[in-house]
Amino acid sequence: MEIQKVTDAAFGVYGRILTGYDFTEILKALHCQPCPADNVVYVQGVSELESLPVAKELRERAYGGLPIEVGYCNGNNKKLNAVEYHRSSEIDIAETDLILLLGRQQDIEADYTYDTGKIEAFYVPAGTAVELYATTLHYAPCTAKGDGFRCVIVLPEDTNGELDFEPLRDGEDRLMTAKNKWLIAHEEAGIDGAHCGLKGKNITLA
């Protein structure tokens, strides 16, 4: 599939590039976190990242003072596997080059299926931070180079935390797999408990 750039106008549907922040220290701290060679690891919040001055700046400026969590997603990945969305923007800060596979929540069908043919791919250069809007479907980044990817993930506090209530199993509620997380999986991904509503190919990047 065509891989576009986050500097292209087409990315404006999904998010924007964040400027005016110094991410040097947070990316140095991220480099000390594990990066699996054969899978992906996501950590919801890391004190070493959350204690840095830029985390406070993101809380105040990017999230208007709301409590946030600063974690990471590292590893190697070439597949779409699923899409998720939140009721809030997500900030991704790329330490390495990586590729985001993105779609629009507005394209989810009434039966909560989604056609993977509508997914678009965007290349994010190392050192770039992007805000993904709340209506942007996304999942784990994809590897742009052979040595894997490393990405800081910033979200409102408790996002992706374990649910402390039992969601309904009808309508959109069936997509809820964690706090502030609605997910649609591809059956090939074999994600336990997930709604398998992705139709079409499980996109794989060469």
Structural domain contains residue 69: yes
List pLDDT tens digits, range 49-107.
Answer: 999 999 999 999 999 999 999 999 999 999 999 999 999 999 999 999 999 999 999 99
Residue 46, token pair as written in the block: 């890391």
The CA distance from 89 to 134, in Å, is: 5
The verdict on residue 87 lying in a domain is yes
Instruction: Kindly report the pTM of this predicted structure.
Output: 0.96
Q: How far apart are CA 101 and CA 83, in angstroms?
A: 9
Q: Determine what percent of the chain is predicted with pLDDT higher than 70.
A: 100
H helical segments located in 31-180: 47-50, 53-57
| CATH number of domain containing 11 | 2.60.120.10
User: Does 135 fall in a domain?
Assistant: yes
Its domain, for residue 59, covers 3-199
Mean pLDDT computed over 138-147: 93
Number of domains into which the chain is organized: 1
What SS3 class is residue 14? coil
In a domain, 72, yes or no: yes
> Would residue 204 count as lying in a domain?
no
- The residue written with tokens 């947070």 in the block is 26
Confirm whether 48 is domain-assigned.
yes
In a domain, 205, yes or no: no
Residue 154 has pLDDT above 90, yes or no: yes
Contact 184, 173 (CB under 8 A): no
Alpha carbons within 13 A on the beta-carbon side of 140: 25
Tell me, yes or no, whether 52 lies in a domain.
yes
Helices (H), 21-155: 24-30, 47-50, 53-57
| pLDDT exceeds cutoff 90 at 206 | no
> What integer is the mean pLDDT of 15-32?
97
Helix (H, G, I), strand (E, B) or coil at 74: strand
